[in-house]
């Protein structure tokens, strides 16, 4: 066993979080060892974000064409072609990662990359069992654990990744199954139900233990998504308890108990488990370095990415926070700055992180939902505009969806959250995310000149409703435009919009204009 030279940082895991950590450390001129046991890029590329979202984009294109011309001739794309396109996207991203890493190594000499399984020998010693059969020990002043996660399984269900699958196997099928049941109606389960039903070649069943899908989101969002899935032919077993799921060799039989006590037995060709993920920490030998699992029970990044051992950090899926690529990258970069910066570093705030749900229609979210505001007993004002009132959505023939903006129930009307459901939702949410990041109200957004026709004009009209200056009045289009407040008890009351010539609104305009003159735009 050879002892390699010392490193300032060892990063265990070469997925999005680990890669981001290594590159940020190079910015500080630090010597880095990056260890990955399988594939550089991890779930950010393979069987995860990039692969599944490539499939989602493709499924949307197929569905759009079939919806428009399906009465004449439908597109029935073979799954082999779907996999070919996914693999092209994977190769492109993989090529970027690997070439970038090699060039950075050659130009700076600051980073070494080892393929193998890493485990702790002590707080500053990492044992690496290389894939070529050799082993080395690395000494590192600091270590970042970025080992990601894997799909959760159930001991009572035999997963073979051929008939009963997880997200690890679902993209490796040889052909579209004629029927598929998905256990779990969270984001991932709903995304795969969306994709397979979009292609129109698979009868999809979705087992939802709760009374509605996406129970963590507002009911109006869940209703739009559920309606869309059912129009796509998906059967949603609401409030259903799985009694059994049996592997029949070339098929799957499952039994559910419904909320009313009745039972159903259904046979399908394939099944997919989508019941969460578990962190990859089993092989790290955490006892050897003293790292403890967190109070959340399964994750280890309790102190703003730092573990209970001062020189060891945990980021990404193992941190215990949101298992998203953008969050993991942010945590990784933050951990590196905490290690090496010579200035105080503010902790990460997770309250206003933008998220995308790749459903049909697309869903984007940031900040508080109505549901969460009620749980926290926060009084709010809400405005909501249907996509059918937005010129660009009408032109696109994509009028299913809405924008909803949630602000504080006071004169400042600070933006607390936004939900976007529909075409271009993830792009439309960014302006509001920026306002939240800057702790601003809605005035600037209301007075900007937005491009026309664009989806984001709907965001502006949503804001205008709150200050009583909308073009379309909610009193006329009551089913399309809504503006109301919710009390701390959750009571929903109409919000009486100000008229353009009211004294209060004129005073508000004066204050806005005075504030504009004070801004130094340089």
Q: Which two tokens stand for residue 306?
A: 């730092």
* Domain residue limits, the chain: 2-150+278-340, 164-275, 361-518
Distances (CA, A) of 33 to 12, 13, 241, 450: 8, 10, 47, 47
213 alpha carbon, distance to own chain's centre: 16
DSSP 118-186: EEESSSSEEEEEETTS-EEEEEEEEEEE---EEE---TTS---SSSEE-TTTGGG-SS--SEEEEE--S
pTM of the full structure: 0.89
**Nearest CA-CA partner of 495 in 471, 473, 466, 470:** 466
**Nearest CA-CA partner of 329 in 309, 350, 345, 315:** 315
Q: Which two tokens stand for residue 99?
A: 């070439």
Distance CA 180, CA 272 (A): 7
Distance CA 278, CA 286 (A): 16
CATH code of domain 2-150+278-340:
3.50.50.60
Distance CA 152, CA 162 (A): 16
Q: Is 476 helix (H, G, I), strand (E, B) or coil?
A: coil
**Measured at the alpha carbon of residue 464, what is the angle toward residues 458 and 468, in degrees to the nearest 5?**
145
pLDDT on residue 232: 94
pLDDT on residue 272: 98
Distance CA 26, CA 5 (A): 17
- Count CA atoms within 13 Å of residue 203 on its CB side: 7
Q: Which residues of 148-165 are buried (b: 16+ CB within 10 A; e: fewer)?
A: bbbbeeeeebebeeebbb
DSSP 246-291: EE-SSSEEEEEE-TTS-EEEEEESEEEE-S-EEES-TTS-GGGTT-
Strands 164-165 and 270-273: parallel
Distance CA 433, CA 134 (A): 48
Domains 2-150+278-340 and 164-275 share a fold: yes
CATH code of domain 164-275:
3.50.50.60
CATH fold label, 361-518:
Enolase-like; domain 1 (3.30.390)
- pLDDT truncated to tens, each residue of the chain (522 aa)? 455 689 999 999 999 999 999 999 999 999 999 999 999 999 999 998 999 999 999 999 999 899 887 666 788 999 999 999 999 999 999 999 999 999 999 999 999 999 999 999 999 999 999 999 899 999 999 999 999 999 999 999 999 999 999 999 999 999 999 999 999 999 999 999 999 999 999 999 999 999 899 988 999 999 999 999 999 999 999 999 999 999 999 999 999 999 999 999 999 999 999 999 999 999 999 999 999 987 665 578 678 999 999 999 999 999 988 889 999 999 999 999 999 999 999 999 888 888 999 999 999 999 999 999 999 999 999 999 999 999 999 999 899 999 999 999 998 899 999 999 999 999 889 888 888 888 877 887 777 787 889 888 899 899 899 988 888 887 788 889 999 999 998 888 888 544 444 444 445 455 545 554 444 433
pLDDT on residue 4: 62
């Amino acid at each position: 066993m050879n002892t390699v030279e010392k490193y300032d940082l060892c990063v265990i895991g070469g997925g999005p979080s680990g890669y981001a950590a290594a590159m940020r450390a190079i910015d500080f001129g630090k010597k880095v060892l990056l260890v990955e046991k399988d594939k550089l890029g991890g779930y950010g590329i393979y069987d995860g974000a990039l692969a599944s979202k490539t499939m989602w984009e493709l499924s949307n294109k197929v569905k759009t064409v079939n919806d428009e011309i399906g009465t004449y001739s439908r597109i029935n794309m073979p799954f082999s072609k779907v996999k070919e396109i996914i693999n092209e996207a994977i190769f492109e991203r993989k090529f970027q990662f690997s070439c970038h890493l090699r060039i950075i190594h050659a130009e700076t000499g600051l980073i070494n990359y080892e393929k193998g399984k890493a485990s702790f020998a002590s707080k500053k010693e990492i044992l690496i069992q290389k894939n070529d059969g050799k082993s080395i020990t690395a000494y590192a002043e600091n270590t970042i654990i970025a080992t990601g996660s894997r799909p959760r399984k159930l001991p009572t269900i035999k997963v073979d990744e051929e008939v009963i699958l997880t997200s690890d196997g679902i993209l490796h099928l040889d052909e579209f199954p004629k029927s598929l049941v998905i256990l779990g109606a969270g984001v991932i389960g709903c995304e795969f139900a969306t994709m397979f039903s979009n292609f129109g070649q698979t009868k999809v069943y979705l087992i939802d233990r709760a009374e509605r899908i996406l129970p963590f989101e507002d009911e109006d969002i869940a209703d739009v998504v559920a309606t869309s899935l059912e129009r796509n032919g998906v059967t949603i077993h609401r409030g259903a308890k799985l009694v059994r799921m049996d592997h029949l060799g070339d098929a799957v039989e499952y039994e559910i108990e419904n909320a009313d006590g009745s039972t159903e037995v259904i046979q399908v060709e394939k099944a997919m488990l989508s019941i969460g993920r578990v962190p990859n920490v089993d092989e790290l030998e955490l006892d050897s370095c003293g790292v403890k699992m967190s109070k959340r029970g399964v994750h280890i990044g309790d102190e703003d990415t730092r573990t209970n051992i001062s020189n060891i950090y945990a980021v990404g899926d193992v941190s215990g926070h949101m298992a998203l690529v953008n969050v993991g990258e942010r945590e990784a970069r933050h951990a590196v700055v905490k290690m090496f910066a010579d200035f105080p570093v503010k902790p990460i705030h997770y309250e206003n992180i933008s998220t995308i749900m790749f459903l049909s229609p697309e869903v984007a979210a940031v900040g508080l939902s109505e549901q969460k505001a009620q749980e926290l007993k926060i009084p709010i004002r809400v405005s909501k505009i249907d996509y059918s009132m937005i010129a660009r959505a009408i032109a696109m023939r994509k009028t299913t969806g809405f924008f909803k903006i949630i602000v504080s129930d006071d004169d400042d009307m600070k933006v607390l959250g936004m939900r976007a459901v529909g075409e271009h939702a993830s792009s439309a949410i960014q302006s509001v995310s920026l306002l939240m990041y800057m702790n601003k109200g809605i005035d600037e957004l209301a007075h900007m000149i937005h491009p026309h026709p664009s989806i984001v004009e709907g965001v502006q009209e949503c804001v205008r409703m709150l200050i009583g200056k909308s073009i379309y009045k909610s009193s006329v289009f009551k089913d399309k435009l809504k503006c109301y407040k919710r009390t701390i008890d959750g009571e929903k009351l109409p919000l009486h919009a100000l008229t353009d010539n009211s004294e209060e609104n004129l005073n508000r305009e004066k204050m806005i204009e005075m504030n504009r003159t004070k801004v130094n735009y340089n």
